[in-house]
A and B are shown apart, each in its own frame.
Chain A
């Protein structure tokens, strides 16, 4: 088990190395003079020169690279041009917001997706199955910003049950957090819940056909135990992979949702950074987000090993 964790952590190193070098190179992919591009059309030559000096763009490439990694290892990703704040600090302020929202959306996705998928599989080809799969299809086909808008119109504008946007930290006011986060979380979750429901259904159907399920029934186990223990434990192995992908999609999906509901998370931060050509912010934000996704993947692999003894033992 520990060996697997170590090996996965080690395999993250080359990924992060590649991502960090790509992020570093990003600024040089800007056609023409990056400093001029960052400064914008109305900038004076003086402002452009300032930016070039601040970002070290006047240095030779090699020393820029050494500088970049030197800072990186000290946890310094530069300063946001827009906010004037260190990139790491700005990111770390916003990160909990996105993580909390994603976690909330993940819980909704898991509950709706798994329950719907399992029930549909157990009631295969009945009306329950058909209704569940139609709902899943609707969830998948509705673009989440559209769903978000619909919810804002209905629950915030018409019924006035919930605020149209804004954000209250969970640590400040849990109920306020719930009020501001529920609509964004649902609009993030529904598509993924539909996806998960379909995958759970087909995985469960596949597992329920297996010989060991027949064995479990032949032993006289109650059907609840056959489904909850024998079938689900096996179905969770492929489903875990999907959940890993879902987490990645939730984090990237937050860009649109946070903008729509004016939630001050990473998504909003990066959107503003891109729109304002705040390159250091974009670079740092991407790097940190990628590192987060790599961590998620490692967690998935560890879950995989926990769920599947064949993986666990081959790894040991």
Chain B
């Protein structure tokens, strides 16, 4: 049984201009200990996917319009709030893109760490403190026990992201969702945080879903990659396969402009045009307006996600002819 199994998930938002679907009919699964990379341009629906799994989208305006999310066999889309609270933390934990604003400014980091443990476990105060210190130490906060009483504003961005990681991992989750955990950080710090996530994965054996728009990050961390475009999955493959033999024109475009980890990316200059807004998506293949291989047939209907090799699928009707040697 996979750890996480998402089937045909669709998340919609009620907006002033009617309902839009931010995430549409996506399916994927994660095995215990596996690292899945989710890539795609800004607005492609990566965060909405993550937040839907966590049950953190405000409803309304958000609504799960279809599909299922099974975590260790439990259906999450219909789970009660109180049972979902029990899953967040020890089951699935999440770190966010914005380390500067994701910690509560008026409580000490020790307080915020310990309350996380307290929400899920009964521990005597001493053990609670020790556990929090140990975790801070583990994520690389120097002299952890004295820094427990520090407030977020006394820490740098990198340190805050380390604290966020400590908070996410302190209950030993089976799945960590990291939503662009390094985007807001300096380049050197980015690499440190990624290394830390990999180390912690090895140590704790958790699965990781890492969201990024940086192909370099994917190459260095993920086992498998899922590429999203305008709310849909356009390609999915093991990481080496994807880099060796990308099938979808969008993925190829992404790979042509792979930024290295050390380079501030001006990504996707190789793909002209911009992602369509949810309300203004074209008929048929959503990538068609920007695709250099587009032909009239592409606009006829949504290309289905077809499997080409075991574990490698893409949603493009021209894959067979374009990949012919």
Name A residues whose Cβ lies closer than 8 Å to a Cβ of B. Answer: 210-212, 214-223, 225, 229-230, 233-234, 237, 307-310, 313
Which residues on the A side are within 8 Å of B171 (C-beta)?
220
A selection of 20 A-B contacts at a CB cut-off of 8 Å is A211-B98, A212-B104, A212-B105, A215-B103, A215-B164, A218-B54, A218-B88, A218-B96, A219-B89, A219-B119, A220-B85, A220-B116, A221-B85, A221-B116, A222-B85, A230-B104, A234-B104, A234-B105, A309-B105, A309-B106
Give min CB distance, B71 to chain A, whole Å: 13
Contacts of B54 in A (CB 8 A): 218
Among residues of B, the one whose C-beta sits closest to the C-beta of A214 is B56
B153 sits at the interface (CB 8 A): yes
Candidate in B85, B87, B98 with the most chain A CB atoms within 10 angstroms = B85
| B86 proximal to A (CB < 8 A) | yes
Within 8 A of A (CB), among B33-71: 54, 56
For residue B50, which residue of chain A has the nearest CB?
Answer: A218
Q: Across the interface, which residues of A come within 8 angstroms of B101, CB to CB?
A: 210-212
- For window 190-215 of B, CB contacts with A under 8 Å fall at none
Q: Knowing that A210-B101, A230-B104 touch, tell me 9 more A-B residue pairs with CB under 8 angstroms.
A: A212-B105, A214-B102, A220-B86, A220-B88, A220-B119, A220-B171, A221-B85, A223-B81, A230-B107
Against A, the Cβ 8 Å flags (1 = close, 0 = not) of B103-135 are: 111111000000110011000000000000000
* Band of interface residues on B: 20 to 34
What are the residues of chain A within 8 A of B307 when measuring CB–CB?
none
Measured CB to CB, the closest approach of chain A to B163, in angstroms, equals: 11
A233 contacts across to B, CB distance below 8 A: 104, 106-107
**CA–CA, A307 and B107, complex, Å:** 10
0/1 string, B137-171, CB within 8 A of A gives 1: 00000000000000101100000000010011001
B115 touches A309 (CB 8 A): no
Report the bound CA distance from A7 to B82 in whole Å. 47
Assess the B153–A215 pair: CB atoms within 8 A. Answer: no
Q: Using CB atoms, name the residue of chain B closest to A217.
A: B56
Given A214-B56, A220-B87, A221-B115, the answer on whether A310 and B102 have CB atoms closer than 8 Å is no
Which residues does chain A contribute within 8 Å of B96, judged by CB atoms? Answer: 211, 214-215, 218
At the interface, yes or no: B90 with Cβ under 8 Å from chain A? yes
Cα distance A222–B105 in the bound complex, in angstroms: 19
